[in-house]
Amino acid sequence: MKLFHYIIQGRVWRSIFRTGLPETNYRRSLVILNNFFLHIHPAKVKKSTLKFTTTFYLGGIAFGLYLILLVTGIYLMLYYRPSVPLAYRDMKDLEFVVSNGKLLRNLHRWSAHAMVFIVFLHMLRVFFTRAFHPPKEFNWVIGVFLIIFTLLLSYTGYLLPWDQLAYWGVSVGTNMIKATPIMGEKIRFLLLGGNFVSENALLRFYVLHCVVIPLFLTLLIGVHFWRIRKDGGLQGDLEHYAEYEPDIILGKNIRVEQRESPNQSLVGTGNDENK
């Protein structure tokens, strides 16, 4: 115990953890505010939001699946080469030659399927519980972009095995894009790097799947979590949402009165007018 107290009172420990042990509510709040990884969580939450039936933990499950995809995807990148002569052979080597390769590839594939399904259920939960109402309408828009990028992430990985299913699946999908008015043909040419599915398309889909889309998805996930906190948690109150001016407090029978001093304000109720 003495060694433990000596460590936490040392200069190295205090330079990293500046708040000390969270023994009081004030210190617990400081831990949340001063920690980069914990700041995304609110210092206090409503007890009702901790119930399983409130969210079914769908958002957390989707994020966990995304982390599994990142870890397994990085491992698969070590053995996969995005070229026509090697792509299919590398996938077979992963399945039959590489140690635990088949397990990790299947884990990556099934996690991708599960993530699409869970994100869809998460959107349904938010919609039917009306959790997209003010002040969370902007976070709903971010969620829509998240499910779009999730589908794009799944689709761009569809071509990488370079088998018949992947080839014709991407051919049909890009031809559907070609049917889009005005810009459809140019978008298809940009995705394929030509007029048909070839090594150019394989390389571009590989870059999109492994670099571009994950970067945007990670950024949007961070903003999504941050907005949940800033909007009052899972069950935010409308009283904290100003519609036009930042100094206006909206809510039932709530108004702001100015004192004689311009630097002070008093929050009163509408019932004061009747006195």
Residue-wise pLDDT tens digits, 128-164: 999 988 889 999 999 999 999 999 999 999 999 999 9
- Give a yes or no: residue 14 inside a domain: no
Could you tell me if 157 and 252 lie in one domain?
Answer: no
234 within 8 A of 242, measured Cβ to Cβ: no
Could you tell me if 124 and 213 lie in one domain?
Answer: yes
State phi, psi for 27 to the nearest 5 degrees: -70, -35
Q: Where do we find the tokens 């036009």?
A: 244
Query: Of the given ranges (40-44, 79-83, 84-88), which has the lowest mean pLDDT?
Result: 40-44
pLDDT, tens digit, 9 for 90 and up, residues 159-209: 999 999 999 999 999 999 999 999 999 999 999 999 999 999 999 999 999
275 within 8 A of 268, measured Cβ to Cβ: no
Query: Of the given ranges (34-38, 204-208, 229-233), which has the lowest mean pLDDT?
Result: 34-38
| pTM for the model | 0.80
Q: What domain count does the chain have?
A: 2
| Statement: residue 252 has pLDDT above 50 | no
- Give a yes or no: residue 267 inside a domain: yes
Could you tell me if 103 and 165 lie in one domain?
Answer: yes
Could you tell me if 267 and 215 lie in one domain?
Answer: no
Mean pLDDT over the full length of the chain: 85
Domain of residue 146: give its range.
52-237
Could you tell me if 130 and 206 lie in one domain?
Answer: yes
Determine the pLDDT at residue 236: 55
| Statement: residue 104 has pLDDT above 60 | yes
Helix-, strand-, coil-residue percentages of the chain, each rounded to 5: 65, 5, 30
pLDDT above 70 coverage of the chain, percent: 84
Distances (CA, A) of 6 to 16, 23, 121: 15, 17, 49
- Give a yes or no: residue 42 inside a domain: no
Could you tell me if 148 and 207 lie in one domain?
Answer: yes
Could you tell me if 247 and 133 lie in one domain?
Answer: no
Determine the pLDDT at residue 268: 45
Determine the pLDDT at residue 230: 83
Query: Of the given ranges (39-43, 58-62, 234-238, 270-274), which has the lowest mean pLDDT?
Result: 270-274
Query: What's the average model confidence in pLDDT over 91-116?
Result: 96
